[in-house]
Amino acid sequence: LQEKKEESALKVGDYYDQNNIASERERIAKNLRNEGYYYLTKDNIIFLIDTTYKDGALSIEIDVRNPKIRTENNTLKDVPFQKYRIDRIYFYPNGNPSQDADTLIYPYTLNNRTTNYFFLNPEEMTLNPRVVARSMFLFHNLLYRDRNVERTYNSLINLRNFKYIDIEFTPSPNSTVDSAKLDAHVKFIPGNKQRISLSM
């Protein structure tokens, strides 16, 4: 936060503006989610405004509170801030994961980094796994970043082969106290095939 405080929408000497408060909350949340803090949302960023600071002026304290996650018994608990890295990336060509699905493991290497992509029900794929892998910006052991998720969405959409794409993240069973990890689940449904006919 200190490294990027020059980007702040709040400047000493400016008039109080609620829009600047909202912009600052968005900016902080965006920066932190692009640094691996997956569970952080703008709701974790609280502004405490003190109007007794001095005549005609106020002070603003920014409080970043621990995120809450829902447990298996449906209760909320505070979790300490952690940076998350991507562990496994799964693809579901028909949009619905199946417990007994066949799995194709497709290794893809970029910049000397190899990621194994897991395609469930590969026989339902309408595209070569290599084409899908080349559209990805999510890689094994890479820090979680919102912008990489957005780039992946856009790249897959640009293939013009799917009518539905969804990317979900779940805690990886390979997580440890010192190394928090997320599994990515990419679900898509193929679009309708287009036919061209000619008559003479």
Q: What is the pLDDT of residues 117-155, one digit of tens each?
A: 999 988 777 788 999 999 999 999 999 999 999 999 999
Split at pLDDT 50, 70, 90, the class of 97 is low
pLDDT above 90 as % of the chain = 56
Among 89, 86, 97, smallest CA distance to 144 is for 86
pLDDT above 70 as % of the chain = 93
- Cα separation, 100 vs 123, in Å, equals 14
Phi, psi of 21 (to 5 degrees): -60, -45
- Cα separation, 62 vs 109, in Å, equals 42
Measured at the alpha carbon of residue 177, what is the angle toward residues 172 and 179, in degrees to the nearest 5? 60
pLDDT at 193: 57
Report whether pLDDT(69) > 60: yes
- Render 82-106 in DSSP notation, one character per residue: --EEEEEEEEETTSS--TT--EEEE
Q: What is the residue-averaged pLDDT of the chain? A: 88
